[in-house]
């Protein structure tokens, strides 16, 4: 983490000096995403086509954790980034702290048909992934665990278990296991969730921290069931792992696009956001990587084969089985307090 912070600040500093040296173009933007295979996929699917269509230059950069850089750029009052693809939480708290522009959705007609819960005053959903219940097929045969109540039922479903070492989605799973209706999860009854988690705690073999670790646990047979990100589970499947997962009671999560306050190329940035959310463009993403489009209209373009759509977390049929994570709640003071309580919960024997 320390390294990331240094790196982020360094990149920002370098970017700052180079941009100041060249005269400001109206027809370019600086776009930040999270790097790796994901950024390469969206370059082919979204960034290149949009740059071509609008006739602009998109300067890319990546930052696995954009938040500290958003904060430092905001502190100078002269940000060098324009558009950021980041967890929605960063857009909301950034907006509340005056670091992120409020979006004028009149200028973003492509977002008009997106569900209201996919948008905030500061952001619009860009792509979707899901935290799902994954399991070892050979262990459970025809009767795999299908809900969080099953995951908590150690008698009916004996076996080793893993959960993510993070409260987000884990608290929600505990509430579903405790019988809370999916539409009654928020605001989270934190005490109830932790009480339910205490029940399963002795049976958790690993609290995983990275996506790669969760995949390794599943493919090595170290755990028989776990919560994991859908893309990681399908990667294990593609490598021949005998594993399965269900979208039932999965947790739909997304990253969003938002624009930095006083962005150097504000007008172009808004044009870019609108174009990046166009159904035709959004439909390209799932053809490159296991993530769903942020704009569900993409499913109506006919570009995404029906077979492919069933694999995507945000396909309407799959989305209906899942709970949409409320970033609004997680960026509230209650949500922040939970992250503190989490470490204490994990640590206590």
Binding site for another protein (CB under 8 A): 1-2, 5, 67-68, 71, 160, 165, 205-209, 213, 220-222, 339-340, 343-344, 346-348
CB of 204 to another protein, least distance (A): 8
**In this complex, which beta carbon is closest to another protein, that of residue 238 or of residue 340?**
340
Q: Which lies closer to another protein via its Cβ, residue 67 or residue 81?
A: 67
Say how many residues make up the chain. Answer: 349
Task: Match 């600040």 to its residue by tokens.
Answer: 9
CB of 347 to another protein, least distance (A): 5
CA–CA separation, 281 and 303 (whole Å): 10
Bridge partners (DSSP) listed for residue 235: none
CB of 224 to another protein, least distance (A): 10
């Amino acid at each position: 983490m320390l390294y990331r912070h240094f790196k982020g600040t360094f990149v920002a500093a370098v970017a700052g000096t180079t941009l100041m040296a060249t005269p400001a173009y109206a027809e370019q933007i600086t776009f930040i995403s999270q790097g790796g295979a994901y950024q390469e996929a969206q370059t082919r699917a979204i960034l290149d086509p949009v740059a071509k269509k609008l006739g602009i230059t998109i300067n890319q950069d990546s930052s696995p954790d954009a938040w500290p850089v958003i904060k430092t750029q905001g502190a100078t009052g002269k940000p060098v980034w324009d558009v950021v693809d980041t967890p929605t939480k960063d857009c909301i708290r950034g907006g509340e702290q005056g670091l992120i522009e409020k979006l004028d959705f009149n200028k973003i007609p492509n977002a008009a048909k997106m569900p209201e819960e996919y948008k905030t005053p500061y952001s619009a959903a860009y792509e979707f992934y899901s935290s799902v219940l994954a399991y070892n097929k050979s262990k459970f045969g025809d009767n795999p665990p299908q809900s969080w109540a099953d995951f908590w039922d150690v008698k009916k479903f004996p076996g080793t278990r893993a959960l993510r070492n993070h409260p987000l989605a884990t608290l929600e799973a505990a509430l579903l296991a405790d019988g809370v209706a999916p539409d009654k999860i928020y605001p989270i009854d934190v005490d109830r969730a932790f009480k339910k988690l205490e029940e399963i705690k002795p049976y958790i073999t690993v609290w995983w921290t990275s996506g790669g670790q969760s995949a390794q646990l599943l493919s090595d047979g170290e755990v028989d069931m776990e919560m994991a990100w859908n893309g990681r589970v399908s990667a294990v499947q593609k490598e021949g792992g005998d594993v399965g997962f269900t979208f039932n009671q999965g947790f739909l999560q997304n990253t969003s696009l938002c624009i930095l306050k006083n962005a150097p190329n504000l007008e172009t940035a808004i044009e870019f956001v609108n174009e990046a959310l166009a159904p035709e463009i959004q439909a390209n993403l799932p053809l490159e990587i296991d993530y769903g489009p942020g704009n569900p209209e993409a499913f109506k373009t006919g570009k995404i084969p029906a077979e492919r759509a069933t694999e995507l977390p945000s396909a309407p049929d799959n989305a209906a089985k899942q709970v949409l994570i409320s970033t609004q709640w997680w960026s509230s003071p209650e949500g922040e307090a939970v992250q503190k309580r989490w470490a204490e919960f994990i640590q206590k024997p």
